Amino acid sequence: MKQLILTLSILLLCGVAVAATPADEAFEALANKYISDLGKFSPVNATLIGDHAADGLLDQVDTTARDNTRALLRDYATALNAIDRDALSRANQVDAELLLHNLESSLWSLDELQEWAWNPLYYVNIAGSAIYGLVARDFAPLGTRLISATSRLEQVPRFLQQARASLEPARVPKIHAETAVQQNLGLISIIDTMIVPVMDALSTEQQVRLDAAIETARNAVTDHQSWLEEELLPKANGEFRIGAELYDTKLAFALNSPLNRREITARAEREFEAVRNAMYEVAKIVYVEKHPFTTFPDAPDEAYRQAIIRAALEQAYKKLPPRDGIVDVAKNYLQQATEFVIEHDIVTVPDDPVEIIIMPEFQRGVTVAYLDPPGPLDKGQSAFYAVAPLPTDWTDEQVESFLREYNMLSIQDLTIHEGVPGHYLQLALSNRYPSTLRSVLWSGPFVEGWGVYAEQMMVEEGYLNHDPLMKLINLKWYLRAVTNAIIDSAIHVGGMTREAAMKLMVEGGFQEEREAAGKWVRAQLTSAQLSTYFVGYQEHIEMRRAVEAAWGDEFTLRRYHDQALSYGSPPVRFVRALMLNEDIPQRSE
């Protein structure tokens, strides 16, 4: 790394023709070196990004590895701070800000947050992703990928041993231990469903080695399961609430936004009332369609408004998907949403492949659905819209609660968010931006905020022919984003209880019991992430208003959306600066 810093110093003095300035050349060299070093930080994450140089390696997660990571992060920060960022092109100014933000966030997470010491899910996710990331997409011949999987499976005992040595049971929250118990065996499920059926792609000798590796991994995962159940879970007594100091810093890193916790909460509480008021007005339309002679009081009390909204929502709950049919329904709705976007010329629709799949077992227990895009270096690979199956141990009442929440109209909204014009479309277009660094350092608020924006925008543009019931469900989903932001900090900083959180979500947000119960679990397992939806959406709509004012009669949805998604997925404030030719925000702004 010292040689890298020396090289950058020379580049600062010399430069070459391909860069606008010596600073640009120095930064681009640093950015390229950082991308090439991703495998040193985490071979598994490098695979997911599309760098396959370290596909045969499984992360080292012991003290020595953390020391090496810390030193490498500090070296990169030193090299970056040696560059005159004011002399960079506007595009490189954005990327430099993102890289510095990421380096500081990673160092803080390593030294202060220390999830490696108290979150067993950190290791479950690495282990599952290590194999899933090799076999889910056809980025190389199957035999090549299976050989890499063999190597990683052979390293599973070492990896899990390091995980157990790193974890401090007394610091582990019980909910994290319980979820790890549920998810850990997911690696065996991946082996059984994605490795074993395709082993004949290997030679006989290679199959013998893979068989042995599978047995080794099975035994290691089984032993780890016993440790999780018999050692970790009984001793897990940590506090899942991370507290104000850690939360505020983590939130600042997660959002990369001028908004802080108090401002977000105040804005969300105002929006909570505004959205409920809007729901009442739409609910009256739905209610009158069913009861045409109804007259509504001029000044209804809260109980009356609540009853009318609930009665209107019941109309949506009459159409539920089959228990095992959510994936098929989502496939149909994805096509429907895509056709609407094309017909109304809303945004360019990419032709990148997308598949709707059952969520892998090792990822279940946190969220109902997610969009798993291919890594920015894996061009042409499929994006996966993953949907979690309903747990087999749920009662009929719990199943009905879930399906009411994810009724046919809700699945429309979910598919817009995850698919078109939401995450799938946005990430497919954004990843065409030429900066690999920017694709790697994507912003959660930009991506999640865009998903919420896509839901609202589609309904405003007349999706489902301005159906008021779709509008009502759409508002309910937006209210979910609002309550997410409220409970996120209220739980981790304000000490909000399960009862209070459930009341806010069920009574205030009209969520069904299964959705609210799942969100309570998710809020305990994560922190700062639930705020990204609301904050990102607020920033997106403010950016659109500013661009509409600046462009005037030249504004069209297609032009706006295509340009907004052409800069990658950095925080919204950077996209706004690029679109409106404003100064690139600095870290302190």
Buried b (16+ CB within 10 A) or exposed e, 24-56: bbbbbbbbeebbebbbebbbbbbbbbbbbebbb
CA nearest to 368, candidates 219, 512, 572: 512
The amino acid at 408: M
Q: 3-state SS of 489-514?
A: HHHHCCCCCHHHHHHHHHHHCCCCHH
Strand order in the sheet with 369-372: 354-358, 383-387, 369-372
Buried b (16+ CB within 10 A) or exposed e, 139-171: beeeeebbbbbbbbbbbbbebbbbbbebbebeb
Contact of 177 with 236, CB cutoff 8 Å:
yes
The amino acid at 292: P
Give the separation between CA 538 and CA 531, rounded to whole angstroms: 11
Half-sphere exposure for 77 (CA within 13 Å, toward CB)? 15
Backbone φ and ψ of 480, nearest 5°:
-65, -45
CA nearest to 134, candidates 193, 50, 207: 50
Backbone φ and ψ of 19, nearest 5°:
-105, 150
Half-sphere exposure for 426 (CA within 13 Å, toward CB)? 28
Place of tokens 């809303």: 346
Q: Are strands 383-387 and 369-372 parallel, antiparallel or unpaired?
A: antiparallel
Q: Which H or E element spans position 387?
A: strand 383-387
Low-confidence ranges of the chain (pLDDT < 70): 1-19, 365-366, 588-589
Contact of 349 with 342, CB cutoff 8 Å:
yes
Contact of 448 with 490, CB cutoff 8 Å:
no
**In Å, what is the CA distance from 544 to each residue of 153, 550, 551, 557?**
48, 10, 10, 10
Burial-class residue 112 by CB neighbours within 10 Å (0-12, 13-18, 19+).
exposed
pLDDT of residue 366: 58
Rg of the chain over Cα atoms, rounded to whole angstroms, equals: 25
Who contacts 494 (Cβ-Cβ below 8 Å, separation ≥6)?
none
Q: Is the pTM of this model over 0.95?
A: no
CA nearest to 298, candidates 315, 284, 313, 312: 284
Give the separation between CA 449 and CA 570, rounded to whole angstroms: 12
Per-chain mean pLDDT for the chain: 94
Q: Where are the domains of the chain?
A: 37-82+114-240
Q: For the chain, how many residues are written?
A: 589
Give the separation between CA 234 and CA 136, rounded to whole angstroms: 35
Helix axes 557-564, 532-551, angle to 10 degrees: 130
Tokens of 513: 């019991």
pLDDT of residue 7: 43
**In Å, what is the CA distance from 308 to each residue of 23, 134, 303, 408?**
62, 51, 9, 21
Q: Where are the alpha helices (DSSP H) in 88-203?
A: 90-108, 115-118, 121-135, 142-154, 156-166, 174-183, 186-190
Tokens of 50: 């599309």
State whether residue 181 is helix, strand or coil. Answer: helix
Residue-wise DSSP of 306-357: HHHHHHHHHHHTTS---TT-HHHHHHHHHHHHHHHHHHTT-SPPP---EEEE
Give the separation between CA 341 and CA 104, rounded to whole angstroms: 39
Give the separation between CA 414 and CA 319, rounded to whole angstroms: 16
Tokens of 334: 């994805």
Place of tokens 């092109």: 89
Burial-class residue 66 by CB neighbours within 10 Å (0-12, 13-18, 19+).
middle
Report angle CA 441, 446, 450 to the nearest 5 degrees.
140
DSSP state of 445: H
pLDDT of residue 387: 87
pLDDT of residue 365: 61
Give the separation between CA 157 and CA 258, rounded to whole angstroms: 44
